[in-house]
Each structure stands twice: as structure tokens, then as C-alpha cells.
Amino acid sequence: MAEAGDASAQFNLGMLYYEGNGVAQDFTKAAQWLGRAAKAEHHEALNFYGVLHATGKGVAQDFGKALELFRKADKCGYNCEPVYDDLPTDFRDKQFGMELVAAKRDFVRKARLLAAEARCNVGLAYHGEATDATSRKVARELFLSAATLGNGKAMHLLGTMCRDGAGVPASEVRAYMWFDLAVTAGFAKAGDARRELIDRMKDKDVARAEKLAARWLRCFPLPEGAAQ
């Protein structure tokens, strides 16, 4: 089916080669199949093909290509779905056995955590070279995408940008919100930054920031294992 052009089957094969599940682990073959699925705009494949380019597994490391793939994945709705919600494909995969369905669900969950980390790391690369507004904008875009996937480090970096007015308007309320979310996601370092802010903020502003953080979590609940 994959050789016939079925994008979901191509994604499944790429997943199996990446994990070494039922076949010998082979990152190059994983990249080949995920790349074919990505060309068909399979959003999970677009995302993980981006992870491979960010980490240099099976392909040459290329942050620019990773950015392009992450953007395409998000455009295809990657960040707007529950962790696993692909009922038509799920039904088709069951014909091959529940073991495949279970493996795929587990891989998708792990892939999202790896995607969050990769997006954050690519964002850091752009942030470190942020000599212009465009680089800062790209860094913020990637941090925000990683934060949507539950990455605490990205949340902390967004808080720092808001606190310092680096590429965004300075806002203690927004900074506190991000630091608070980062702590909730398990990024302990953000606790010190949050304490420094709370000492100089008004109670009403702290309450507003906490309300914003709660609203974010309602829209983007932290996935299991998202703590950094």
C-alpha cells in the first residue's frame, strides 16, 4: 500500500523503521518513507520528518528545512488536534491488527514530545542569531508552537521574551503567565523567574496572569509526559 502511494501506510512504515518495531531499526529508511508521506501533506509525517531534519537522524541536519516542515504541519492542523484523533485510519489499521494501532498511538504521543523539543531547539538556534526582527519572529513562532505541544522550556523562553521586550512588547502579565505555565509543565527553572516578577507586580495583575494561564491550559492541555 505504501509503494502504491498510500500516505498513511507510508507513515506507518516510517514509524516502524524509526522504532525498529518488527523490522531492523533504520533511520534512513524511516526518513525515506516519512518523506514520501510528507509530500502528500500527511500532517503527522510532516511533523516527524521535521524532527528528523532538526536532529539529523536519517537525513542531514537542516534547521531551515525543519522550520519549513513544522510550518507545513501546523498549516495542515497538526497543533489543532487531540493527541490521537484519526478514526478513519484507525479503523483501517485495525484490519492489520490491534498491535499496529497500539504501536501507532504510542509513537504519535512520543512524536509530539520529540516535536516540541525539536521546535524549541530550532527556535533557540534562530534566537541565538537574532540580530534582526525576522529571526526573533521565527524564534517566537517556534517557541509558541513548542509551547502548544506542552514544552516547558519553550514556555520559559516566551516568558523571558515578554519580560525583556525582546521581539515582543514588554509585558509582566504575559511573562508571568508563561513562567507559571512553564512551572506547571515541570520546568523548575521558571519558578525563580516567576518569583522575581511577583515581588514587583500588583495583585490584580498576578490574578490576571493566572487567569490567562488557566485559559491556555483549557485550550492546550499538557500531554502526558510533557514535563521538561
pLDDT per position as a tens digit, 26-47: 999 999 999 999 999 998 999 9
DSSP string computed for 61-121 = --HHHHHHHHHHHHHTTGGGS-SS--HHHHHHHHTT-HHHHHHHHHHHHHHHHHHHHHHHH
Number of C-beta neighbours around residue 199 at 10 A: 6
pLDDT tens digits for 52-61? 999 999 999 9
Higher pLDDT, 83 or 202: 202
Mean pLDDT calculated for residue range 198-221: 94
Dihedral sign of CA atoms 161, 187, 139, 46 in order:
negative
pLDDT grade for 108, boundaries at 50, 70 and 90: confident
Mean pLDDT of all residues in 2-8: 91
pTM, entire model: 0.86
* Three-state DSSP class for residue 6: coil
* pLDDT recorded at residue 8: 87
CB atoms within 10 A of CB 106: 14
Sign of CA dihedral 68, 119, 39, 87: negative
What's the mean per-residue pLDDT of the chain?
88
**Torsion angle of alpha carbons 52, 55, 58, 60, nearest 10°?**
110
Report whether pLDDT(170) > 90. yes
Q: What percent of the chain has pLDDT over 90?
A: 67
Instruction: Give the three-state DSSP class for 228.
Output: coil
Higher per-residue pLDDT: 206 or 109: 206
CA distances from 8 to 13, 35, 86 (A): 9, 12, 10
The residue-averaged pLDDT of 188-208 equals 94
Residue of 14, 16, 79 whose CA lies nearest to 52: 14
